[in-house]
Amino acid sequence: MALDIKLIEAFAVIVRTCSLTKAEALTGISKSTLSRHLQRLEEDLGVELIERSSRRVVPTEAGKAFYIRCESLLLEMGGRLELARAEVQELSSGGKGRLCILAENHFTTTFVCHVTRQFLARYSNIVCELYAAGRPDSPRVEDADCYICSEAPDLPNVIAKLIGRLSYGLYASPIYARRQGLPSDPRELVKHERIALREPDSASQTTLHSQQTSHPYISRSIIETNDYWVMKTFCVDGLGIALLPDFFVQPEIRHGSLIPVLPAWKPEMRRIFCAYHRQRYGSKKLKSFIDLVAQSVGDIPTFNNYVATSATIIPEVTPD
């Protein structure tokens, strides 16, 4: 039979003070209640623990042995409870726990990695899990604490907070420019090879806009992929023109491995969302992370420092 902890606490304080009166003053529990707790404990154990007299209470030999064990137990329990209290308070304050972050692939190694690194510098006791979306081992959107994406998910109880917008542009490598030349007008894109992003949720035609007019982005796709890093790699290697986030290609622009194509023509800016489950937004660590993401969007061009350069020499192809 499991012993009631309040009976053990009553016994320990009686032995410690050697008096029911002092025990009552120390705990605020009446002498009659303490006496009942002691009697019930003795009945549960089947042994007398205290020798009672009119002036004081003295533990029996069995009571002394049991008291030593009880004091050790209560000290350990008190320490564990304090540890649990501190842990709960840290979790409540957002200073401890886990944070599951899901992000579209072109955000992960550039933008979201940088924000996560800043977040961990502030909250070193939080374990962050960062997943690229769209992979077999990726968590579902509704299972992640935060989903950073360009399209707001339409899911029950999932709120999408707009935190910024991304500009896109057309890019090619000097290798491609030397081999194929570059268009001077969007109508000439139909003659050029295109490295295209395959997006399962989007079947709409991309439209390019200048200050005066608009024109559909039409060209011949030779490569399709669902990964922006693959697009940029093929683009740097000179296989075609790619529509890429402007921030994503800044290192290559500075390096000279990519150059803008039709820089005066741009598609509509794409929005950036932080999506989260309504019930989880009460978590202070999640609020802190989303606030940090929103604050960092303005500096997104400075976060990507990985330069893609071509190690491939593409031979000249002579038409038959």
Tens of pLDDT, residue by residue over 109-130, are 778 888 888 888 888 888 889 9
Domain that holds residue 137: 97-164+271-302
Find the CATH number of the domain harbouring 18: 1.10.10.10
Residue 70 lies in a domain: yes
Highest mean predicted confidence (pLDDT) among 73-82, 181-190, 200-209: 181-190
The per-residue pLDDT for 278 is: 80
- Alpha-carbon gap, residue 249 to 253, rounded angstroms: 6
How far is it, in rounded angstroms, from Cα 65 to Cα 87? 34
Is residue 237 in some structural domain?
A: yes
279 plus 148 within the same structural domain: yes
CA 35, distance to chain mean position in Å, is 54
**Which residues, listed in sequence order, are joined to residue 272 by a DSSP beta bridge?**
164
Number of residues in the chain: 320
- The answer on pLDDT for 253 being more than 70 is yes
For residue 5, pLDDT beyond 90: no
Q: How confident is the model at residue 259 (pLDDT cuts 50, 70, 90)?
A: very high
93, 117, 145: which is the final residue of a domain?
93
Asked if residue 148 is part of any domain, the answer here is yes
Strands (E), the chain: 50-52, 57-59, 97-103, 126-132, 146-149, 158-166, 168-172, 193-197, 207-209, 214-216, 220-225, 241-245, 259-261, 270-277
State yes or no: pLDDT of 155 exceeds 90.
Answer: no
**280, 153: one domain:** yes
16 shares its domain with 142: no
Given pLDDT bands bounded at 50, 70 and 90, which one contains residue 260? very high
In this structure, the answer to whether residues 147 and 201 fall within a common structural domain is: no
Nearest alpha carbon to residue 306 among 26, 88, 45, 109: 109
Select the highest-mean-pLDDT range: 77-81, 93-97, 163-167: 163-167
- CATH code, domain with 212: 3.40.190.290
H helices, E strands: number in the chain: 10, 14
Is residue 10 one of the residues assigned to a domain? Answer: yes
- Cβ 314 vs Cβ 233: under 8 Å: no
| Pair (296, 245) in one structural domain | no
Compute the distance between CA of residue 105 and CA of residue 131 in angstroms, rounded to an integer. 9
**One domain for residues 196 and 237:** yes
157/289 same-domain check? yes
Tell me what pLDDT residue 31 has. 84
Q: Supply φ then ψ for residue 247, to 5 degrees.
A: -65, -30
319 lies in some domain: no
Same domain for 14 and 160, yes or no, is no
**Residue 316 falls inside a structural domain:** no
141 and 287 housed in the same domain: yes
Q: What is the CATH number of the domain that holds 281?
A: 3.40.190.10
- Rounded-to-integer distance, Cα 209 and Cα 211, Å: 7
To which residue do tokens 């039409």 refer?
218
Report the b/e string of 97-122 with b at 16+ CB within 10 A.
bebbbbbbebbbbbbbbbbbebbeee
pLDDT greater than 80 at residue 192: yes
Mean pLDDT, residues 271-296: 85
Within this chain, do residues 143 and 275 fall inside the same structural domain, yes or no?
yes
Strand order across the beta sheet in which 270-277 lies? 126-132, 97-103, 146-149, 270-277, 158-166
pLDDT tops 50 at residue 313: no
pTM of the model: 0.61
Residue 234 domain-assigned (yes or no):
yes
Please tell me whether residues 32 and 176 are part of one structural domain.
no
pLDDT of 252: 92
Question: Does 199 map to a domain?
Answer: yes
Are 24 and 61 in the same domain? yes
Separation between Cα atoms, residue 308 and residue 236, nearest integer Å? 7
Domain boundary among the residues 32, 59, 93 is at 93
Name the domain count of the chain.
Answer: 3
